[in-house]
């Protein structure tokens, strides 16, 4: 059994190892969410380099990228095209109790990232528990089509109304 949670950028920075197309999708989602991201890879797509909140190091992963004392990473994503490198990154992150996604091994991952639809404050996530990310993406697109645009304004209006009811205008809520 798994539980879906929303991680906020205040949880800390994210380490993404890999600089190709798979890493781009993951980094773009994290950047859109306001996270601070460090990308380590010998070759990094220009699209990744141009995203807000991203710092890039064009080199191979080294063990000290995952610190031995007090982890500085909220999450680690192993997105290289090399099975052994991804396996090693997963082991290192788990050894330091850092949640990790190993993109080519569901069994080595400690969490999954759902296919997420965002429209302002509205977020709808679809997950297959890592079984088929392409299916999750397909379902997300069907939901987006069914909902249609414009939900950002509805959510913001609802947020303001709730905060007014609670007497806490301007404070963020946890929903």
pLDDT of residue 17: 98
**Same domain membership, residue 130 and residue 98:** no
pLDDT in tens, 134-160: 898 899 899 989 988 889 888 899 999
**Same domain membership, residue 81 and residue 15:** yes
Stronger pLDDT, 78 or 133, i.e. the higher one: 78
Query: What is the H or E stretch that residue 118 is in?
Result: strand 115-119
pLDDT of residue 115: 81
Choose one of 108, 135, 153: the last residue of a domain: 108
129 belongs to a structural domain: yes
Structural domains counted in the chain = 2
pLDDT of residue 72: 86
**Same domain membership, residue 88 and residue 58:** yes
pLDDT of residue 24: 97
What is the model's pTM? 0.79
For 121, the domain range is 115-166
**Tell me, what DSSP letter sits at residue 113?**
P
Which residue has 């490198």 as its token pair?
A: 85
173 belongs to a structural domain: no
**Same domain membership, residue 122 and residue 104:** no
Confidence of residue 21 (pLDDT cuts 50, 70, 90): very high
pLDDT of residue 172: 60
3-state secondary structure the chain: CCCCCCCCHHHCCEEEECCCHHHHHHHHHHHHCCCCEEEEECCCCHHHHCCCCEEEEECCCCHHHCCCCCCCCCEEEECCCCHHHHHHHHHHHHHCCCCEEECCCHHHCCCCCCEEEEECCEEEEECCCCCCHHHHHHHHHHHHHHHCCCHHHHHHHHHHHHHHHHCCCCCCCCC
61 belongs to a structural domain: yes
3 belongs to a structural domain: no
pLDDT of residue 69: 55
**Same domain membership, residue 66 and residue 120:** no
175 belongs to a structural domain: no
Stronger pLDDT, 16 or 112, i.e. the higher one: 16
pLDDT in tens, 51-64: 999 999 999 999 99
**Residue 36: other Cβ atoms inside 10 A:** 15
**Same domain membership, residue 79 and residue 124:** no
2 belongs to a structural domain: no
pLDDT in tens, 67-117: 855 568 999 999 999 999 999 999 999 999 999 999 999 899 998 878 888
**Same domain membership, residue 93 and residue 35:** yes
């Amino acid at each position: 059994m798994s539980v879906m949670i929303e991680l906020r950028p205040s949880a800390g920075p994210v380490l993404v190892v890999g600089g190709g197309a798979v890493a781009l999708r993951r980094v773009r989602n994290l950047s859109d969410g306001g996270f601070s991201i460090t990308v380590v890879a010998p070759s990094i797509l220009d699209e990744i380099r141009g995203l807000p909140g991203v710092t890039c190091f064009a080199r191979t992963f080294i063990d000290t990228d995952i610190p031995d004392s007090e982890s500085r990473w909220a999450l680690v994503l192993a997105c290289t095209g090399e099975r052994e490198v991804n396996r090693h990154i997963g082991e290192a992150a788990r050894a330091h109790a850092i949640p990790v996604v190993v993109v080519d091994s569901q069994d080595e991952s400690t969490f999954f990232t759902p296919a997420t639809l965002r429209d302002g404050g509205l977020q709808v996530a679809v997950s297959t528990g890592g079984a088929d990310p392409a299916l999750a993406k397909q379902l997300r697109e069907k939901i987006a089509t069914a909902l249609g645009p414009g939900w950002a304004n509805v959510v913001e209006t609802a947020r303001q109304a709730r905060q007014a009811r609670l007497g806490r205008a301007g404070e963020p809520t946890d929903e």
